[in-house]
Amino acid sequence: MGSISVIGAGSWGTAIGVLVSGKGLKVTLWARNSEFCDTLRKEKENKLYLPGVKFPKTLSVTSTLADALKGARIVVCCVPSHGIREVFKGAALMEGAIIVSASKGIEQKTHLTPSGILGSVLPKGFNERIAIISGPTFAKEVSMGLPSAACAAASSIIVAEEVQEVFSTPSFRVYTNTDTIGVELGGAMKNVIAIASGISDGLGLGSNARAALITRGLKEISVLGSAMGAKEATFYGLSGLGDLVLTCTGPLSRNYTLGLAIGRGRSLTDILGEMRMVAEGVKTSIAARELAEAKGVELPITEQVCKVLHEGKSPKQAVMELMTRGLKHEF
């Protein structure tokens, strides 16, 4: 096994770096900002995004992308989805390297998932060597060694199994999957539904409403996934239902927390101005609505989240419209 490079030093990138280097594997963590990189190197801890978690001895940090990628057998992308294209365009990867996307989202206009973005900017020879790691995994809990599970997905089961082997530890169980579309779509769309769940709780609508949102949100994800050729069973797995439940209910969820503040009357501009980390669901909601229109499917919750976030619609009015839609069969 060669060295491993983790591109992106936010909470999730840092957690993955700590997880894998904790196995004794050599890991290089890339941080875009050189001053931030110096701080990480000096303190051997990411006090900004993942405080209290010390770096293992085999984890090094650099702000030079070429240095991070040099000789890396496994390259893990932890860059926010809207920044992937810029970071990886022209990146010099080692021949035969595997690229693992740990990012979640849908790019606006192109409607590409993170692996699709990577495939569009990297040489064609890497397309079969792009994988995804996804599931119900809060960075803080993973870095603390609390029991967690995720799935490694790739079109090639051989690639998926290699990623599975690299990421698996006694506290981090990894399953394989070959439905890359379904795995990534579940990881992207759950953030939109989590914003809706937060809005509901912010309005004080109760547990019944949250449960209904999660259930019908899963249905929306499945409907869009089917239109894109995903396997329905994937949405009942770790990257679908698992990630959805966690993100819609956990206080560590950035998207849920953002929705909670919206439901309590705060403006999106003010909330985003205070957030250090990215709430992917904000931009994904627009891309998902565009994608749904292109595929000719209805995503009523996603549509209302879009209108609340980007068109100034009242959350209470959005709830009313969802509850008074035409009656229909559940499935």
Where do the domains of the chain lie, and which CATH numbers do they carry? 3-178 (3.40.50.720), 181-323 (1.10.1040.10)
Mean pLDDT rounded to a whole number for the chain: 96
Could you report the per-residue pLDDT of 40-58, keeping only the tens digit for each? 999 999 999 999 999 999 9
Could you report the per-residue pLDDT of 118-132, keeping only the tens digit for each? 999 998 889 899 999
Based on the residue annotation, tell me whether 190 is a catalytic residue of this protein.
Answer: yes
What is the b/e burial string over 75-103, where b = at least 16 CB atoms within 10 angstroms of the residue's CB?
Answer: bbbbbbbbebbebbeebebbeebbbbbbb
Could you report the per-residue pLDDT of 165-220, keeping only the tens digit for each? 999 999 999 999 999 999 999 999 999 999 999 999 999 999 999 999 999 999 99
Could you report the per-residue pLDDT of 225-282, keeping only the tens digit for each? 999 999 999 999 999 999 999 999 988 999 999 999 999 999 999 999 998 888 899 9
What residues does 3 pair with on adjacent strands? 72
C-alpha radius of gyration, the chain, whole number: 19
Rounded to two decimals, what is the model's pTM? Answer: 0.94
The catalytically annotated residue of 26, 44, 104, 190 is 190
* Residue 52 Ramachandran class (φ > 0 left, ψ -120 to 50 alpha, else beta): left
In a 3-state reduction of DSSP, which class is residue 187? helix
How far CA 43 is from CA of 47, 51, 52, 59, in Å, comes to: 8, 11, 11, 13
* Residues 6+ away with beta carbon under 8 Å from 204: 263
